[in-house]
Structure formats: C-alpha cells, structure tokens
C-alpha cells in the first residue's frame, strides 16, 4: 500500500529492448500492487529544451520556473504523487529511468526532462542539497542499455569504469535532489548478444523487480564512483 513508481521512458521504438524492459517493469510492479505512472517522452513529443517560455513571472523571484503549461502534468500532477514531501511514512516511491546510453549519458530528451521538471524550489534548493535535498527519502533507479560490452566499461576497458559515467546522472542529479540511489540495472550490448542471452537479461530484470523494495541504496559518495 502506498507504493508509487514513476517510469520516465526515453526510447523512440516501442519494440526495442528498452521497450521490453519497460513492459516488464509496468507488468511486474503493477502485479505487486504499485501505482505505476509512465511518461513516454518520445510518444508525448516532450519538449526537452529549457527556453524563455519556461520562465513565469519576474526572473528575480525565488521560483522563476514555476508552471509552464506543458510541464503542468509532469511537475504539478504526477511528481507530487510520486515524490511526496519528506516525513510521510505511509508512502514509498521510486523514480525509474529507462533509456539507452547515448554518448556516455542519457538521451537528450531525458536530460531535457531533468532540466525542465526538476526545478529549483521543487526538486532542489541550493541551501538544501544532497542528503538534505528536497526530495529526500525517495528512491531512484536507472535501468539502461549500452552499445558496448561490459568489458569495455571496466577500469581496464577503453571506455573506463561505468561508474564514471553514472557520476553526473546519479550523483549530480538524483542525489543532489536528495533522492536515494539504488544500484543501476545495466544490460550490456543487447543487440550484440544471442537471443538466449537477451531472454536471460529480461528474466534477470523481472527477478530484480520482485525484491526491489527490499534493496539498500548505494553509498552515493565520490568513493563509490571513483574508488
């Protein structure tokens, strides 16, 4: 009871491997009795650019980015339900980002969602950040696919440790807003493996979701990313 999940999905093709991961997440978490909300950014034709139109009122106000019309549903309707304010012991909530890794980062449309929805005064305040952030005690989980193999994203690999890539996304966005971070779920190079291996990846995702609410967040500190 009271378990809420917001899935922000960023892939152009519903039949993609990321689309399969999304479908599994919705089905499994709904089966658990969770309230699941999906923001399919490409299907919504979400505008990723933060423009002058986002500024409501005088720029000297504490919250200049208050209520642009196309963000009303995302920031003022869905998110307060997913991210109720701290000290609400009757609610558990998870932000789940589902996306392919593009150029060592999230797709631009998802980064734009972060830029435009997680605004100052709602998601963060410069005087209240990280463990004291405005969205503290909530959970986040990034589930993503890569084009390269796991070996490439190791300390010995040409791409370096995957944790280096996660630093700006998990620490610089989620942790900055006070959200507790769960271990990422990474499917390495699904397009370059066998059908049997892809099925194993999907099964592993299903199994993880079954115990999602029992997971302990990572120690979201520089040491976790750069040790």
DSSP-derived 3-state class of residue 212: helix
Q: How many domains does the chain divide into?
A: 1
Residue 11 lies in a domain: yes
Give the CATH number for residue 74. Answer: 3.40.50.360
Q: Give the Cβ contact number of residue 37 at 10 Å.
A: 16
Print pLDDT tens along the chain (227 aa). Answer: 589 999 999 999 999 999 999 999 999 999 999 999 999 999 999 999 988 777 776 554 445 445 555 665 665 544 555 555 545 545 688 999 999 999 999 999 999 999 998 888 888 888 888 988 888 878 999 999 999 999 999 999 999 999 999 999 999 999 999 999 999 999 999 999 999 999 999 999 999 999 999 999 999 999 999 98
DSSP-derived 3-state class of residue 37: strand
Structural tokens at position 182: 């769960």
Q: Give the Cβ contact number of residue 131 at 10 Å.
A: 10
Residue 59 lies in a domain: no
Domain residues for 184?
Answer: 4-54+68-226
Residue 204 lies in a domain: yes
Residue 131 lies in a domain: yes
Query: Looking at residue 79, what is its pLDDT?
Result: 54
Query: Looking at residue 64, what is its pLDDT?
Result: 44
The answer to whether 96 touches 83, Cβ cutoff 8 Å, is no
Give the residue among 201, 68, 62 at the shortest CA–CA distance from 134: 62
Residue 60 lies in a domain: no
Structural tokens at position 203: 């099964």
What is the C-alpha to C-alpha distance for residues 82 and 160, in angstroms, rounded to an integer?
34
Question: What letters, b where the CB count within 10 A reaches 16 and e where it falls short, cover 56-74?
Answer: eeeeeeeeebbebeebeeb
Query: Looking at residue 77, what is its pLDDT?
Result: 43
Structural tokens at position 1: 């009871």
Q: Give the Cβ contact number of residue 113 at 10 Å.
A: 23
Query: Half-sphere exposure of residue 32, counting CA atoms within 13 Å on the CB side?
Result: 21
For the entire predicted model, the pTM comes to: 0.87
The answer to whether 5 touches 93, Cβ cutoff 8 Å, is yes
Give percent helix, percent strand, percent coil of the chain, each to the nearest 5.
40, 20, 40
Residue 213 lies in a domain: yes
Query: Looking at residue 70, what is its pLDDT?
Result: 60
Distances (CA, A) of 183 to 49, 97, 162: 29, 12, 12
Longest dimension (CA), the chain: 57
């Amino acid at each position: 009871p009271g378990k809420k999940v917001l899935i922000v999905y960023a892939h152009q093709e519903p039949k993609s491997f990321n689309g399969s991961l999304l479908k599994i997440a919705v089905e499994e978490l709904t089966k658990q009795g969770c309230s699941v909300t999906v923001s399919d950014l490409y299907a919504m034709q979400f505008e990723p650019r933060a423009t002058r139109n986002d500024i409501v009122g005088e720029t000297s106000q504490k919250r200049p980015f208050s209520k642009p019309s196309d963000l009303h549903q995302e920031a003022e309707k869905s998110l307060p339900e997913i991210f109720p304010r701290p000290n609400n012991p009757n609610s558990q909530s998870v932000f789940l980002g589902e996306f392919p890794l593009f150029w060592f980062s999230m797709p631009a449309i998802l980064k734009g969602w972060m830029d435009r929805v997680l605004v100052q005064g709602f998601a963060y305040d410069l005087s209240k950040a990280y463990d004291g952030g405005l969205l503290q005690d909530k959970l986040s989980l990034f589930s993503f696919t890569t084009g390269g193999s796991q070996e490439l994203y190791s300390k010995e690999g040409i791409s370096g440790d995957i944790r280096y890539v996660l630093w700006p996304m998990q620490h610089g966005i989620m942790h900055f807003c006070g959200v507790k971070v769960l271990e990422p779920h990474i499917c390495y190079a699904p397009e370059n493996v066998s059908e049997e291996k892809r099925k194993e990846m999907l099964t592993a995702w299903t199994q993880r979701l079954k115990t999602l609410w029992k997971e302990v967040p990572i120690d979201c500190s520089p040491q976790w990313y750069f040790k």
